[in-house]
Amino acid sequence: MATSAPTVPDCGNTVYTTCYCEENIYWLINRFLSPPGGQQNWDVFSVFISNPTKTVALWNQRSSRDTAIIWDYHVVLALRECRRVHSQSRGCCLTRGPGDTWVYDLDTCLPIPCHWNEYVDQTFPLGTDTPSQYQSRFRVIPGNVYLDNFASDRSHMLQVSGTNVPEEPRYVAKPPPYPVICGPEAEKHGIRNNLMTHFVSMSGDEQGFGTVMDFDAFTAWCSLSGPST
C-alpha cells in the first residue's frame, strides 16, 4: 500500500542573514538533516544559481519586487520527495521513486516553500528567452555533500574604498554573528574557502561539487524527468 504524501517541512525561525544566502541555506539543510535520517521522505539539495559572467536575472526577489534583480549568484534549497511503498512480504519500505519537488528561497516574495513549477515560472519568467548574459545555470548538490564540503571565510564580502587613504577592508553587508563555516571534509583537507571555486563556478569541471545544469536540464530535474544527481 502506497504511503500518503508527506507534509512539506516548515522553515520558520530558520537562521537568516541578509546577503549571505549560501550560509542561510547551509543552516536550513543542517536543520532538515538533523538528526541523520530526520527527513526520510525527502532528498535535500542545495542549488547554486549563477553563470560564467556572474550576472543572473531573478524576478520576485524581496530586494526588487517590481522588476528583475541581477545577482552574481544566489542559493536555494530543493526538496525532492521520495515516495515509498510498504512490502508486506518483506516487512519493509521500498523506494518507489521520487515524487514532487519544492524550493526554499529565503529571499523570494513567493511562498516558502514554493512548488518548483510556480517558483521557476515566477523567478525565471523569460526562461530560455532571457538574454544570454543573464541566463541562469544551476549547480545542484546533495545536502550532505554540501554540509561536509562547504567552506567560506566571507572574504568575497569585503571591499576597500578605492581611495589612496589606507584603510581596513569593510563588509559590504553585515556578516552573521556566528563563526565562519567550514565543513568537516573541508577542514580535514585544510580548506578554508571554496565558495567561488567549487560552488558558485558554473564551469562544470571536476573541481566543483554536484551537477551543473542549464535551464532546461534544471526544470527537467525538478519535474523528475531528468536524472537525479
Q: Which residues are part of the catalytic machinery?
A: 21, 74, 105
- Helix spans in the chain (H): 21-32, 116-123, 143-149, 184-188, 195, 215-222
Q: Are 57 and 49 in contact (CB under 8 A)?
A: no
Cβ burial 173-183 (10 Å sphere, 16+ → b, else e)? eeebeeeebbb
Other Cβ atoms closer than 10 A to 79: 24
Report the candidate in 13, 227, 28 with the shortest Cα–Cα distance to residue 143.
28
Report the candidate in 175, 168, 169 with the shortest Cα–Cα distance to residue 152.
175
As a dihedral over the C-alpha atoms of residue 161, residue 162, residue 163, residue 165, rounded to 10 degrees, the angle is: 60
Alpha carbon distances (Å) from 182 to 27, 51, 139, 152, 185: 12, 24, 19, 7, 8
